[in-house]
Amino acid sequence: MSFKGIFDLAVQHKGSAEAVTGLLPDTKSAAQVAKLPDDRWLAEMTRCVFQAGFSWKVIETKWPGFEDAFEGFAPRRWQMMSDDDLDRLVKDKRIVRNPQKILSVRDNAQFVCSLADEHGSAGRFFADWPVDDQIGLLDVLKKRGSRLGGATGQILLRRAGKDGFILSGDVVTALIREGVVSKSPTSRKDLAAVQAAFNDWHQETGKPYAHLSRILAMSVG
């Protein structure tokens, strides 16, 4: 099906084209993504890691406490997280006291610092990565970051404003319906097929990948 047909399905579910377009997510330009400071990249990584498998509402409610406990998420500070820091944080009631996720802040601070050393800033790295190779970028997040694989990495990019798709349950259902994959994509072959489909739809419509992703989800229900 051409993407127009997919859009028409979304319109049927939501009632009008205006209703569909009103639900599309915001995306930032490459210049805006590049300007996002390194501390905000570490903060968003931390938020996504702590929300994974947990109540998003709880993390959002506690988030000011996270900002205080991690002193604004300066990567150069947290790449050197000490045992004393860890001992203090696992007792800090302002945050969710999960030792493994707390340690991921140190590891992701090291990741952010390495990107800054290599590219000038983490934002510049993410901004420069081509939008037609999101699968490659997700692989970098999985291999070089801590606990940033799968949906967590996709949500991180969306929250930071980097254009890209999210393989939610409804999006995967739509991809199966369209014959892109036969099951939830996990293999390199299936992920490559997903990327190729999004690239084709982007060329057909000129729409951001984030909009294509949301419309696919709405085409299911």
DSSP string, 114-175: HHHHHHSSHHHHHHHS-GGGHHHHHHHHHHHSSS--HHHHHHHHHHHT-------HHHHHHH
Asked whether the predicted pLDDT for residue 1 surpasses 90, the reply is no
Q: What does the alpha-carbon distance between residue 81 and residue 85 come to, in Å, rounded to a whole number?
A: 6
Rg over CA atoms, the chain: 19
Average pLDDT for residues 81-98, to the nearest whole number? 98
- Given this model, what pLDDT does residue 221 score? 85
CATH entry, 34-131, from 3.40.50.300, 3.40.30.10, 3.30.420.40, 1.10.340.30: 1.10.340.30
Structural domain boundaries of the chain? 3-27+165-218, 34-131
pLDDT band at 50 (very low <50, low <70, confident <90, very high): very high
pLDDT > 90 fraction of the chain, expressed in percent and rounded: 99
- Given this model, what pLDDT does residue 57 score? 96
